[in-house]
Amino acid sequence: MKSKYTVLDMFSGAGGLSEGFFQQGFKFASHIEKDKYARNSLETRAIYHALKNSSNEKIYRDYISGKLNRDVFIQKFNELELPSIGLLQGEIFESNEETMMKDIKTHLAVIDSDSVDVMIGGPPCQAYSVAGRGRKPKEMKDDPRNYLYRYYISFLKNFNPELFVFENVPGITSANGGDIYSNFHKEAEKYGYKVEAHIVYATGFSVLQDRRRIIFIGWKDRYDLSYPEFPKKPPIKFPVSALFKDLPVLQAGEGTEQATKYSRSPSRSSKYLQKFNIREKNDVLIQHKARTHNKRDLEIYRQVINKWNCEKKRLKYNELDPEFQTHKNKNSFLDRFKVVDGDNYSHAILAHIAKDGHHFIHPDIYQLRSLTVREAARIQSFPDNYKFEGSRTAQYMQIGNAVPPLMAKGIAIEIEKMLNEIL
């Protein structure tokens, strides 16, 4: 699929939001992301799309199957002299902001675009989240990430796209007393945009996860446009367990980061995986390795899984056997050990999964472990051939911070409709 529209991607992460626009055929002027591992993952995925569109997908398949290392993979891609995948930029500072903008404008000519049609992205959400502010109120109030949205506004002013998409956690509406939310609206309106923001549910896009994001959409105020009607939360058609049926059973510490076989053929995998192209016929299973856990944590996992599977009740931390209550804080954050609901939607996959996995426990008591990278990625609706670069901790962080690709594609479809109305 090809689109005539060009997108500038701010605070890209590992590319969850970008993936939806890639799949819808948008061209990328640039991706801007601070973290080097997320940037590498995004580069890998951008190369995948370029190779797929040019009938050279085998090079990518050879890479994720372990036949090529990353240097050779990139070298082989460069030798094809395909159109640019989009300029990759690092962290934005006041000192490099102007230079970065000039580089992007130069790159627009390389991809044969006169201007940026749509700008997308959202800065790191930890400082805006209600949970983050609850744990560290003083630190979060003074966190410099509170003000990264100003770079978004600066690029919006400079590139003057027809539309923009700004996404974040719902907690941004109350962060710093609501000033950030209101200031973003005022700044965007000052530069000629009409802005609307609504809470959007990932489940409305068939993501098997109870995840909410606030999606700001802005368009130049001379256009007669309206905010898209995104789908609401539908009845459950596929439980989370549908995501796991073709994955090898693992005990804590088992599995591999490298390419391995599924436990079922593509035709015997769940209808969900087939319908939404999570798993394709020629995929290999990658990044399905379970964390190791100590005996104490495994016994806690056993207790909370039993409680959930037998009674559908969450076992709070202060309800564990006294010998397992080693934390001093027994009055708050009592759901620190939480089982994924295999019969329903999962609770939201967050970047916290990079720390220990206790909040994302596999529902199968016979596996007795936390989620693998691939399981977390599937809950987020990432395709199985999406390779996350960096350490396993970095991979979890990238997945937890991402916009689910199925949700992103739904947004991209509506943005393309809006652009078709005005251009």
Alpha-carbon distance of 327 to 333, in angstroms, equals 11
What three-state secondary structure class fits 109?
Answer: helix
Cβ proximity of 247 and 262 under 8 Å:
yes
Closest by CA position to 7, among listed 421, 411, 390, 362: 411
Beta strands in 221-263 (DSSP E): 255-256
CA distance 255 to 371: 12
C-alpha–C-alpha distance, residues 242 and 271, integer Å? 8
Cα–Cα distance for residue pair 274/35, rounded to 1 Å: 32
> What is the number of alpha carbons within 13 Å of residue 1 lying toward its C-beta?
13
3-class secondary-structure state, position 3: coil
Tokens 């890209």 belong to residue: 12
Which helix or strand (DSSP H or E) is residue 187 part of? Answer: helix 179-190
Please report, as a single letter, which amino acid is at residue 218: G
What DSSP state is assigned to residue 266?
A: G
Beta bridge partners of residue 366, listed in sequence order: none
Q: Is 238 helix (H, G, I), strand (E, B) or coil?
A: coil
Among candidate residues 29, 100, 119, 125, the one labeled active-site is 125
SS3 26: coil
User: What DSSP designation does 297 have?
Assistant: H
Reply yes or no on whether 125 is catalytic: yes
> Is the torsion defined by CA of 36, 37, 39, 43 positive or negative?
positive
Radius of gyration of the chain (CA): 22
25: nearest Cα among 421, 423, 416, 406: 416
Residue labelled with tokens 């770079």: 151
CA 260 to chain CA centroid, Å, is: 24
DSSP string, 80-105: TTPPP--EEE----TTTHHHHHHHHH
CA distance 350 to 1: 31
- ∠ Cα 91 404 152 (to 5°): 35
For tokens 């068939």, the residue is 206
Show which residues are catalytic: 125
